[in-house]
Amino acid sequence: AEPVALVEGYLMSEFFLHSFNTLGHGLIGYIIPFLFVLTIVVFFHELGHFLVARWAGVKVLTFSLGFGPELAGFNDRHGTRWKISAIPLGGYVKFFGDESEASTPASSETLDRMTAEERAGSFHHKKVGPRAAIVAAGPIANFILAIVIFTCLFTFFGKPSTTARVDKIEANSAAAKAGFQVGDVVTAIDGKTIGSFSDMQRIVGVRAGETLNFSVKRGDSTLQLKGTPEFREIKDSFGNVHRLGVLGITRATSPGDVVTERVDPATAAWLGVKETWFVVERTLSYIGGVFTGREAADQVGGPLRIAQISGQVATIGVVALIHLAAVLSISIGLLNLFPVPLLDGGHLLFYAVEAIRGRPLSERAQEMGFRIGLGLVLMLMVFATYNDILHLAAS
């Protein structure tokens, strides 16, 4: 139950990639890291569909990384064709009873003519529960992959942090108006404990225009200050523009200020869950901000932008690239859950209606839904590609 290349490729967004301030060089420097990241994310997404389908007794005809002509492949003992295809912008799992890679069902005549044995292995003859589980398994696998990656990073590399200390305050900034002073240490925002400067930046960055309550340690006293982050466009040293909430506070990092906290696997797993939730929360906040006019839609990108960012992140190292894979995995998992026909979420919407009605939607209704979904996906594809071209032309 996997959408076509438009889903796995063009629907990839960079909603959470503003923090990657790195520089890539050359076409090869973009393509190889991009394919590395994309292959990891797509493989585990499709593996989720595949494993649950096998568990539910559905015959899997094809497991493909990429679309179009086959480059290489083999058949396993269950008859599944595992292959790598020529267009590396996604992947799909095709089930017995599917008409296409998008998991659209074969005609009713074809399904009705199946034998009892064939029906047992047909995706579209399964009850609505198993079908929904198979569809949902792809996005769920993306979330699990991200949690595992974050857990491993925290376990083996620790959690780097710097105290949320105020070393410099911009004149007439939100921090100056709130009464911050040099030497203050922020310990909590709206009652949420702040363990590092990056923790404070994350909260402030996504809450521009909102009045926040800061608990501040000043000497031996604890004060309560109210501040409203300002919405600014900030250009980093690589020319990337970020729209963030800013207080106007600077933290000067001296040798020894950055502390790497070693954590046990259980704590690392919890941190991985929290990190995954942060990305989900930020994605939903950004999308809501686009519709309300609070956020700019020009941050939505497609394969070109993802390839550029992958090349930039690769210059830091493999660990940073794997971290990027986790972020993209979350974004793809979440976007695939949107209730748009062609996406996994669209299939789940149809199944929910089927469960309520006691019977599936008519073929015509499903066909119209897929056409509408295709139109929406095509529009997003064009918009994302337009943003990519503008971004590349300006860089």
Report DSSP letters for 158-197, one per residue.
-EEE---B--EE-TTSHHHHHT--TT-EEEEETTEE--SH
Tokens of 357: 């009605």
Greatest Cα pair distance, the chain, in angstroms, is 80
Instruction: Tokens 């300006």: give the residue.
Output: 394
Tokens of 54: 């096998």
Q: Determine contact, residues 329/48, Cβ cutoff 8 Å.
A: no
Q: How far apart are CA 7 and CA 135, in angstroms?
A: 14
Tell whether the torsion through CA atoms of 238, 239, 241 and 246 is positive or negative.
positive
Q: Determine contact, residues 311/29, Cβ cutoff 8 Å.
A: yes
Q: How far apart are CA 289 and CA 283, in angstroms?
A: 10
Q: Determine contact, residues 151/145, Cβ cutoff 8 Å.
A: no
What number of other Cβ atoms are within 10 A of residue 307's Cβ? 24
- Taking CA atoms, 293 is separated from 297, 298, 391, in Å, by 9, 12, 20
- Catalytic site positions: 46
